Structure 1
Amino acid sequence: MSDNQNLLAEQRRALILDEVRRRGGVRVNELTRRLNVSDMTVRRDLDALARQGMVEKVHGGAVPVSEPSSHEPGFEAKSGLELSAKEDIAKAAARMAAPGGAIALAGGTTAFALAQQLLEVPDLTVVTNSVRVADVFYNAQRAAAGGAAPRAGAATVVLTGGVRTPSDTLVGPVADAAIRSLHFDVLFLGVHGISVEAGLSTPNLAEAETNRHFVRSARRVVVVADHTKWGTVGLSSFASLEDVDVLVTDRGLSAQAREEIAELPPELVVAGEPGDGTDL
């Protein structure tokens, strides 16, 4: 990786995290050679990843953090991770929302990034079970209106009721009943984990059931998930990859994962690469 000495810290840490997860652990001296940076730089990167809970530092290197499948990080804990990847994914996915369409937008930090891109799509009807996503539209409309009536073309936002999760998502019977009665052109769905064997999964049992209703109510399912979600498995699976029409991810996705996805139904869109639609 001769160009890695010029990588931004966030990009470099993403590469380190990918190596840790792929190999099950790395040593500092291996990373210094591979990334062509100093020992001190690698140690600072490992310190930053350890503070974020992404790796566990051990003598001479780092290993993956072992989390129970029922562990559910809060919104704030996830919001600072993979920021550039989520922004790229959001830009690519936003092109799949047609003006005047009825879309569903489930919870999560990638969906939150997508909501900010969808502000530019006119006349949307947005159904969401994410308090954070609803706030994106509400705050934008309030700022634009300045106390007046909503501007022409502003989205109509429907927030389901339900019980709030650590991810600020509303789930449970109330949310399920609302979603069952509706029909969406497109569902944009963030996930905790995605794999060939387990499909789409989450550590929250109630959220899994709510997501099942989202998937059943949508004509088209678009999963928005950065590369770190690949290979992660939560407590409860709620859909298979056969239920997914499009998977939008980022350039950090490994070659092995791309090969596995190529044999499955979802169309793969890699944000930031040619053909992701953002250059049109």
Structure 2
Amino acid sequence: MTAAEERQNRIVELVSEKGNIQVDRLAQILDVSQMTIRRDLDKLDREGIIERRHGVAVIKHETTYTEKMVTMMEEKRLLAEACAAMVKPGDTVFLDSGTTIYEIARRIMDIPDLTVITDDIETGFLLHRSGVELMICGGTVQKETGSIFGTFSNQMMSYIHVGIAFMGAMSIDSNFNVLTPTLDKASLKRMVTKNANKSYLVVDHSKFNRQALMKINSLQDYTGVVTTKVFDDRERKRIEELKIQVVTVGGGGRQEV
């Protein structure tokens, strides 16, 4: 990790702890110039993590469910179709929260003898009207995103082993670490991924090279990564070194790295 990345991660931590913080105070804490801090904040703002407001850095909340539903729908459709093709009659499936995962639910809801566990209110509402055997994680509902998390969710999923899990993520950094804004979400996602026979991270291209506060795991911890991102030569070499299985959809069809 570069010095700039370490500094930007520290900025995210400081802003998350305090809710907001002055630019000059960040420069003082990190012992760099205000110009350096402004460049860091510009990058974090572009990545959707922090907002700059008149000399103050403010933590940016997650995009709402409604906003997510209308962005990059073609990519979500391609990802969902690739994932739905992996599901067979009789499977036990975990569906993580998020609008891309919701699109997977729409495409598997008529598969016979399917059991689905989800931590997403909207996905649960969709599937309760289908023939799927449905289980919903208990816990706190994040109203902006429709996701469920907390101690009860973690306890429930510690006892459940699924055949296949489709997981989402807010961010993947340049070192292929998978990140999320909150500790409770990180804990649940990590547990489900570990307890599944097969686990797939399902992410569109916009999730890469972004920062968030909490590390869930790394790309190599999944059975595979299903994405619309086209990796450059340096990234492909790193993927091969780490033995990460990548399925790229879109741009002329499905490709595996």
TM-score (norm 1): 0.66
Measure the CA separation in 1 of the matches of 2:127 and 2:200. Answer: 20
Measure the CA separation in 1 of the matches of 2:180 and 2:46. Answer: 19
Measure the CA separation in 2 of the matches of 1:195 and 1:120. Answer: 36
Measure the CA separation in 1 of the matches of 2:73 and 2:240. Answer: 26
**2:151 pairs with 1:173:** yes
**2:98 pairs with 1:108:** yes
- Bigger shift: residues 191-200 or 178-187: 191-200
Measure the CA separation in 2 of the matches of 1:65 and 1:245. Answer: 27
**2:232 pairs with 1:255:** yes
Residue 94 of structure 1 corresponds to 84
Measure the CA separation in 2 of the matches of 1:264 and 1:72. Answer: 30
Deviating runs (4+, > 6 A) in structure 1?
none
Task: Give the number of aligned pairs.
Answer: 202
Deviations 1:114-171 (A, max 9, x none): 11111232211101111111112124x2xxxxxxxxxxxx210100111012311110
Q: Tell me which protein shows more strand as a share of its residues.
A: 2
Cα contact 1:246–1:269 (8 A) shared by 2: yes
Measure the CA separation in 2 of the matches of 1:170 and 1:66. Answer: 22
Residue 148 of structure 1 corresponds to none
Aligned partner letter, 1:80: V
Cα contact 2:157–2:191 (8 A) shared by 1: yes
1:114–1:66: structure 2 CA closer, same or farther, 3 Å change rule? closer
Structure 2 counterpart of 1:237, from 208, 215, 227: 215
Residue 46 of structure 2 corresponds to 64
Measure the CA separation in 2 of the matches of 1:66 and 1:114. Answer: 25
Measure the CA separation in 1 of the matches of 2:161 and 2:246. Answer: 24
Instruction: Report the 3-state secondary structure (helix = DSSP H, G, I; strand = E; otherwise coil) of the residue aligned with 1:133.
Output: helix
Query: What does 1:108-257 correspond to in 2, within 5 Å?
Result: 108-139=98-129, 141=130, 154-165=131-142, 166-197=144-175, 199-250=177-228, 252-256=229-233, 257=235
Measure the CA separation in 2 of the matches of 1:124 and 1:276. Answer: 28
Gaps of 5+ in 1: 1-62, 142-153
TM-score (norm 2): 0.72
Cα contact 1:162–1:171 (8 A) shared by 2: yes
Cα contact 1:70–1:235 (8 A) shared by 2: no
Measure the CA separation in 2 of the matches of 1:265 and 1:81. Answer: 31
1:169–1:219: structure 2 CA closer, same or farther, 3 Å change rule? same
Aligned partner letter, 1:77: E
Gaps of 5+ in 2: 1-44, 51-58
Measure the CA separation in 2 of the matches of 1:101 and 1:246. Answer: 18
Aligned partner letter, 1:212: R
Measure the CA separation in 1 of the matches of 2:105 and 2:169. Answer: 15
* Post-superposition offset of 1:274: 3.6
Aligned partner letter, 1:190: G
Measure the CA separation in 2 of the matches of 1:216 and 1:245. Answer: 10
1:205–1:124: structure 2 CA closer, same or farther, 3 Å change rule? same
Pairwise CA RMSD = 2.3
Aligned partner letter, 1:156: E
Instruction: Report the 3-state secondary structure (helix = DSSP H, G, I; strand = E; otherwise coil) of the residue aligned with 1:187.
Output: strand
Deviations 1:228-252 (A, max 9, x none): 11112211011112211111111x5
Using the aligned pairs only, state the percent identity: 25
Query: What does 1:49-60 correspond to in 2, within 5 Å?
Result: none
**2:246 pairs with 1:268:** yes
* Post-superposition offset of 1:99: 1.2
* Post-superposition offset of 1:195: 3.0
